[in-house]
Each structure stands twice: as C-alpha cells, then as structure tokens.
C-alpha cells in the first residue's frame, strides 16, 4: 500500500502557503498584504517608469484571483498625471465572459488619472469577483480632454507581446483600440496582445 500525504496548495503556489492564501507563511519576500492590499497583478518592484495611455483605448488587466474576492477599489499608479476634464473616463471590472460586475464613476476615474503616485478608483458598488481560471479583468478607459495619464507598467514590456496564452480571451494584459467612451461589456475574444502592461492593486 502506497501512502500519499495531502499537501495543501492554491494554484501554483509552493508550500508553505502565505497567510493571504490560508497558510502559515513561507519564503516569500513580498506579498500585497504587506502593504495593505488584497491583491495585485504583478510585483511593482519589477515595474518601469510607465507608458502613456491612448484616449478611447480600453486597457485590460487580468485579475489572478484564486478565491472569490470582494473588491471596492482598483488602484492605478500615475507616474505622470493626465490633464483635462472628462465625463467619459472609467475603470470597471468584467468577469471571464466580459460582463460588467462593478464600475467607477467618471469623476472617480478622472480624479485618479489626473493625480500622481498610487491612486484608488472606487467602484460605485463593491462586488465579489469570482475566482479563476478563467479570470476576471479590470478595464481602464482614459478619455481626458488634453493629455492621458502615464501608468506604471512592467519592465521589458516588449517581451510581454506576444504573450504565451492558448486563448486571447485570457491574455494577462490586453488592449482594445477605439473602444469608446462608456462602461460596457467587453468582447474578450477581440483582445489584442500588447506590450503595455499596467501594474494594479485592489482593495
């Protein structure tokens, strides 16, 4: 008889698990909870100075949630503030089918995009976002009147396009040009791979 011990894991996390994943802690030098966040899509220590957004382009950031998570804010980091008023800039969350689950007001998105450093964008109604895979996405849509913000993004962005995924509907980072000026469901099969890889947190 062969004895196989049970070892608790979450996703591809190695044991021992971090407290954020329900474990006792392990050899992780940093976790989003260290800084008071529920999660992030990438370690900001590996980020660059940023990249300038293009108006009316929807930037999609995959949310690697391993457990259902109540999200109240999406945090973006503006290394250079955008300029100008807007009633058509938004941040929202869609599920793995592209359906809107939570959204900001335009005022909240504008305030974040015209600020500097880490800025929270409040969801008008916090929502519990389902775990994946397949994963949900945060969507960032800038439409400032004069200049769009420059967002913190990962280093070596050229190496992130093309991304190694089996389906464009689950690209880690994606963009959809000329998306428009309003919160809407997203056709994830229309995702285009991009070297623009924003770093975001959620709380």
pLDDT at 8: 47
Residue 95 has pLDDT above 80, yes or no: yes
pTM (predicted TM-score)? 0.84
pLDDT at 195: 77
Place 69 in a pLDDT band, splitting at 50, 70 and 90. very high
Place 161 in a pLDDT band, splitting at 50, 70 and 90. low
Place 46 in a pLDDT band, splitting at 50, 70 and 90. confident
Whole-number Å distance between alpha carbons of 103 and 94 = 9
The H or E element containing residue 61 is strand 58-63
pLDDT at 20: 61
Whole-number Å distance between alpha carbons of 107 and 73 = 14
126 neighbors 203 (Cβ within 8 angstroms): no
Range of lowest pLDDT (3-17, 64-78, 187-201): 3-17
| Mean per-residue pLDDT, 145-166 | 76
Whole-number Å distance between alpha carbons of 75 and 77 = 7
pLDDT at 191: 93
The closest alpha carbon to 113, from 84, 137, 154, 73, belongs to 84
Burial of 23 per CB tally in 10 Å (0-12, 13-18, 19+): middle
């Amino acid at each position: 008889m062969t004895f196989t011990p049970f070892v608790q894991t979450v996703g591809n996390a190695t044991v021992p698990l971090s407290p954020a994943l329900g474990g006792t802690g392990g050899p992780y030098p940093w976790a989003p909870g260290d800084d008071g966040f529920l999660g992030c899509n990438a370690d900001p220590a590996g980020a660059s100075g940023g990249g300038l957004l293009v108006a009316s382009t929807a930037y999609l950031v995959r949310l690697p949630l391993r457990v259902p998570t109540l999200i109240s804010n999406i945090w973006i980091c503006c290394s250079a503030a955008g300029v100008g008023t807007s009633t058509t800039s938004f941040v929202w969350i869609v599920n793995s089918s592209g359906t809107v689950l939570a959204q900001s007001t335009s005022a909240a998105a504008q305030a974040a995009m015209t600020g500097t450093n880490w800025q929270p964008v409040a969801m008008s109604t916090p929502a519990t976002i389902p775990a994946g895979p397949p994963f949900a996405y945060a969507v960032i849509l800038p439409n400032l009147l004069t200049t769009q913000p420059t967002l913190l993004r990962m280093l070596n962005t050229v190496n992130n396009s093309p991304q190694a995924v089996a389906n464009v509907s689950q690209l880690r980072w994606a963009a959809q040009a000329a998306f428009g000026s309003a919160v809407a469901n997203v056709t994830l099969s229309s995702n285009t791979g991009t070297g623009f890889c924003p770093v975001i947190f959620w709380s």
